[in-house]
Amino acid sequence: MDNQERQRIRLSDRILGALDLALDQGDVKISETLVRALEMSMTRNAGGGEFVERREYPPEIENAMDRLQALRNKREAV
């Protein structure tokens, strides 16, 4: 992958890839950290101090959030 191709990939896409891997591995702590990073990367440079995100997340992010919640529920059930 050359430098131009790397610049076209959004940071949020890379974080989502890492989040998917952490979820596959069942790592709740890392997944939670990556979710926070994902949210930050999607809202940076938007609005001011009182900015509220109003757009909906894409289906792949919603799916990752659902998987994380399922992992949390599983951990609490043990």
Q: Evaluate if residue 33 carries a pLDDT over 90.
A: yes
Global pTM reads 0.76
In the predicted structure, residue 56 carries a pLDDT above the cut 70: yes
**pLDDT for 46 beyond 70:** no
Instruction: Yes or no: say if 53 and 43 are a contact pair by the CB < 8 Å rule.
Output: yes
* Confidence at residue 47, expressed as pLDDT on a 0 to 100 scale: 57
Comparing 1 with 35, the larger pLDDT belongs to 35
The torsion region of residue 26 among left (phi > 0), alpha (psi -120 to 50) and beta comes to: left
Q: Read off the pLDDT of each residue in 36-57 and give the average, rounded to a whole number.
A: 72
Number of domains in the chain: 1
CA atoms within 13 A on the CB side of 45: 2
Asked whether the predicted pLDDT for residue 1 surpasses 70, the reply is no
- For the segment 6-33, the average pLDDT, to the nearest whole number, is 92
Note down the domain range covering 35.
3-44+52-77
